[in-house]
Structure 1
Amino acid sequence: MIAFVFPGQGSQKVGMGVELAAASAAARAVFEEVNDALGQDLFAVMREGPEDALTLTENAQPAIMAHSLAIARILEHDFGLSLAAKGEAVAGHSLGEYSALAAVGAFSLADTARLLKLRGRAMQAAVPVGVGGMCALLGADLEKAQALAEAAAQGEVCEVANDNDPGQVVLSGHAGAIARAVDLAKEFGCKRAVPLPVSAPFHCSLMQPAADAMAEALTRTPPRPMALPVYSNFTATLTSDPAAELELLVKQVTGRVRWRESMEAMGAAGITHFVELGGKVVGPMIRKIVSESEQTSLVTMAELEGFAKEL
């Protein structure tokens, strides 16, 4: 059984999508539609940079989605492979949940691009630069990470933002609390704590203004019926109800990304092959979570051709 999974922020890089656009009219159409929806030449930023412009949250989020959706369109239009026909479910890491939903018809491509542009801006605006921070805990499980977060908070916000795999958990919150967490990490049994070069403290309670903005936007552009069910970041469970998914997308902004639990649930449901569209980020995490599974990453035309032949 196959599931299609979609990467989140951090998977962007200058040059993304260039080969796909050169080889496929379907991919070019995706990038053009996203440009039109946003009223900016986002694909030029993806193609040429500069890197600091691409890594801006408001550009990175729609760019990563466009890259993933270009690959989904190539599979469908160039190779005759429908995600709905070949897959059992979809999931995406943070913003990747929007890519997953777009791929199964819950949002149009244009609406997804606009929602992610707004999401990026709202997340950036929620906390002034320098006030918040994030760190990755390596060699730490959820229990150790939660204990460390509680100890480091000292009246500030310090929360688990991402439970990525059995040995990697990310904390988010006020900059001072995150600095304390880095200093205390080894005392709590973590191998290492690495401050992350992010512009805002994602997936913690400081993001409430962004959650409010997304609630308003999603009420105007609600999800539609899905061709495949999605595993929610917020609950790590399966949903196919558009109204429920709207609420989960709002809660996702401030809530923990329960990626490890989501992948465990997918493995328990019988998923044996995870196909990552547009990155090589979540596949290695899944390998650590669902050991008896196959991971395929689709980024290049050669990888797409190989996958199509296998199926």
Structure 2
Amino acid sequence: MRAFIFPGQGSQAVGMGKALADASTTAREVFQEVDDALGQNLFRLMREGPEDELTLTANAQPAIMANAIAVLRVLEKEGGIRLADKADFVAGHSLGEYTALCAAGAIDLATTARLLRIRGDAMQAAVPVGQGAMAALLGADLTKAQAIADAAAEGEVCTVANDNDPTQVVISGARAAIERAIAIAKDHGAKRGILLPVSAPFHCAMMQPAADAMAKALADVAIQAPLIPLYANVTAAPVADPATIRTLLVEQVTGMVRWRESVAAMAEAGVTDFVELGGKVLAGMVKRITPDIPVTSAVTMEDIEALSKTL
């Protein structure tokens, strides 16, 4: 069994997609469709920057999705690979969940791009800049991270946002609380805490205004049953029912990304091969969660050509 997985925020970089678009008409068509959906030359920003503008949440989210879908479409159209024939599950990290749903035919590409633009804008607007923060706790598992967050909260929001792998958990909340957590991280058994260069405290209760905005946006969107089940971030369990998917996408904005549990659950369900499209960050996490299961990352045309020969 095989799972296709899709990266989240932080995997953007100036130049992303350029080489693939130069080599493939299929990739260029994906980037053009996203540009048309957004009424913006996002692909030019992806190719040329500036980096600070690409890193803005409202740009980074659709850009990362577009890059991953371009890789998938090239694999499908030029590699002769059909996702539904070669994968048993899809999953994505945070915004990557939208990419996974697009890949599995649940939401069309243009709609996915517009939803991620709304999501990015709403997440940025939910908390004034400077009031929230996120930190990576290195050398901490979920139990240690939760203890650090609880000790640092002091009445403010401070909670686990991303349970990424057995050695890295991300916390999110009020900036002062996150700074306290970094200060006490070593005392609670973590190697260290690192403040992340993000513009808002994602996946915590402070994102409730963004969750409300996504509930409104998703209410009018046609969601089909995915061709293959999605392992959802907030449940770490497979889902295929459109109404449930809609609910979980809203809950995901404030909920914890249970990535470690999702990968472990897919392995328990029989997955023996992971394929990451459009990035390489998740591959490292997967290797730390399930060291014995191979994971392949595909970003470039060379990656895609090699992957198509092995699927």
Partner of 2:181: 181
2:10 is aligned with 1:14: no
Question: Is it true that 1:192 corresponds to 2:198 in the alignment?
Answer: no
CA drift of 1:223 comes to 1.7
CA distance in 2, matches of 1:76, 1:134: 37
Partner of 1:140: 140
CA positional deviation for 1:309: 1.4
Tell me the secondary structure at the aligned position of residue 91 of structure 1.
strand
Q: Please give the per-residue CA displacement for 1:111-167, whole angstroms capped at 9, x wherever unaligned.
A: 000000000000000000000000000000111111111110001000000000001
Q: Which residue of structure 1 aligns with residue 167 of structure 2?
A: 167
- Secondary structure of the equivalent of 2:170? strand
1:140 counterpart SS class: coil
Preserved CA contact (<8 Å) 1:222 1:246: no
Percent identical among aligned pairs is 63
- Secondary structure (helix, strand or coil) at the match of 1:13 reads coil
- CA distance in structure 2 between the aligned counterparts of 1:305 and 1:200, rounded to whole angstroms: 38
What displacement does 1:94 show?
Answer: 0.2
Question: 2:107 matched to which residue of 1?
Answer: 107
CA offsets, 1:216-254, max 9 Å, x none? Answer: 000011421111100000000000111101000000000
Alignment of 1:33-72 (within 5 A): 33-72=33-72
Distance 2:264 2:79 in 1: 30
Written as runs of structure 1 = structure 2, the 5 A alignment for 1:1-311 is 1-311=1-311
**Structure 2 residue matching 1:14: 3-state secondary structure:** coil
What one-letter code is carried by the residue in structure 1 that aligns with 2:154?
A: Q
> What does the per-residue CA deviation read over 1:4-39, in whole Å, with 9 as the maximum and x for residues that have no partner?
000000000000001111111111000000000000
Runs of 4+ in 1 over 6 A off after TM superposition: none
Secondary structure of the corresponding residue to residue 276 of structure 1? strand
Which structure 2 residue ranges, 5 or more long, are not aligned? none
Q: Are the counterparts in 2 of residues 76 and 82 from structure 1 also a CA contact under 8 Å?
A: yes
User: What secondary structure sits across from 2:181 in the alignment?
Assistant: helix
d(CA) in 2 for partners of 1:63, 1:97 = 14
- 1:246 and 1:185 mapped to 2: Cα distance? 36
Looking at structure 1, the residues matched to 225 and 149 of structure 2 have their Cα atoms a distance apart, in angstroms, of 38
Provide the C-alpha distance between the structure 2 equivalents of 1:309 and 1:147, rounded to a whole number of angstroms: 46
Q: Is the 8 A contact 1:203 1:254 kept in 2?
A: yes
Query: Structure 1 length normalisation: TM-score?
Result: 0.99
Residue 290 of structure 1: CA displacement?
1.0
Number of residue-to-residue matches in the alignment:
311
Q: Which amino acid aligns with 1:63?
A: A
Question: What amino acid maps onto 1:57 in structure 2?
Answer: T
Quick one: distance in 1 between partners of 2:127 and 2:222? 26
CA RMSD of the aligned region, Å?
0.6
CA distance in 2, matches of 1:223, 1:9: 23
- Counterpart of 2:37, as a letter, is A
TM-score of the two chains, using structure 2 as the length reference: 0.99
Letter aligned with residue 21 of structure 1: A
Any idea what SS the aligned residue of 1:233 has? coil
| 3-state SS, counterpart of residue 185 of structure 2 | helix
Q: Measure, in 2, the Cα distance between the counterparts of 1:19 and 1:287.
A: 27
